[in-house]
Amino acid sequence: EPEVTQTPSHQVTQMGQEVILRCVPISNHLYFYWYRQILGQKVEFLVSFYNNEISEKSEIFDDQFSVERPDGSNFTLKIRSTKLEDSAMYFCASSRGEADTQYFGPGTRLTVL
């Protein structure tokens, strides 16, 4: 069964450094998402991406964040200058159709020191 994959599983970085979190969505999916979950809190929507552009972003997704689909298979989330409060589990998700089920990857745990 196809699945969403994410790398790395755990990333440790220093405050102010740039990080890139990588995701490979399911191959025939058209809609791509990033969510995050701060330890002990709920899963929060960050951004959705469709047709090579952002379709919606949350207020969390400020100028420090960007997303890209550099080729036909990868979907990346970049944080330009990490802050302590960016420490969280980041989940990538994809869906085939607009209202279809979103399939989630296993997550990348980001720790900012």
Partner 1 sequence: AQSVTQPDIHITVSEGASLELRCNYSYGATPYLFWYVQSPGQGLQLLLKYFSGDTLVQGIKGFEAEFKRSQSSFNLRKPSVHWSDAAEYFCAVGAAITGGGNKLTFGTGTQLKVEL
Residue 73 lies near partner 1 (rule: CB under 8 A): no
DSSP letter (8 states) at residue 102: P
Backbone angles phi, psi at 9, to 5 degrees: -80, -30
CB of 16 to partner 1, least distance (A): 28
Cα-based angle 87, 15, 73 (whole degrees, multiple of 5): 60
According to DSSP, the residues that pair with 26 across neighbouring strands are none
**Of the candidates 34, 61, 75, 91, which one interacts with partner 1 according to CB under 8 A?**
91
Binding-residue total with partner 1 (CB under 8 A): 29
Calculate the alpha carbon distances from 36 to 24, 48, 106 in Å: 17, 13, 12
Cβ atoms of residues 82 and 20 within 8 Å = no
**Of the candidates 34, 48, 67, 87, which one interacts with partner 1 according to CB under 8 A?**
48
- Closer to partner 1 by Cβ: residue 48 or 82: 48
- Closer to partner 1 by Cβ: residue 84 or 99: 99
Binding footprint of partner 1 on the chain (CB under 8 A): 4, 31, 33, 35, 41-45, 48-51, 53-56, 91, 95, 98-107
